[in-house]
Amino acid sequence: MAEKAVFYHAGCTVCVDAEQRFVGALNPAAYDVEVVHLGEAPQRLAEAEAAGVQSVPAIVMGGAVYHIN
């Protein structure tokens, strides 16, 4: 069963490029990635902050946050 991962971004060109590169590089058999555009889903901001996201783009996997700066 694939592990859930959440990729948070704001829609800027850096975020979109990171989404395409990082999410595309993950094995879909290993990771079920949900992409959250915080500009389009601002109600998810509190969720992202609670997960430890301090800046975007960031991906949350296995309870750990990886900031892509």
Each residue's pLDDT tens digit, 41-56: 999 999 999 999 999 9
Whole-number Å distance between alpha carbons of 50 and 68: 18
pLDDT at res. 22: 92
Q: What percent of the chain has pLDDT over 70?
A: 100
Q: Please answer whether residues 56 and 19 qualify as being in contact, where contact means their C-beta atoms are separated by less than 8 angstroms.
A: no
Fold of 3-29+39-67: Glutaredoxin (3.40.30)
66 CB neighbour count, 10 Å cutoff: 15
pLDDT at res. 35: 97
Q: Please answer whether residues 37 and 28 qualify as being in contact, where contact means their C-beta atoms are separated by less than 8 angstroms.
A: no
pLDDT at res. 43: 98
Say if residue 64's pLDDT is above 90.
yes
The DSSP bridge pattern shows strands 31-37 and 64-67 to be unpaired
Whole-number Å distance between alpha carbons of 5 and 43: 18
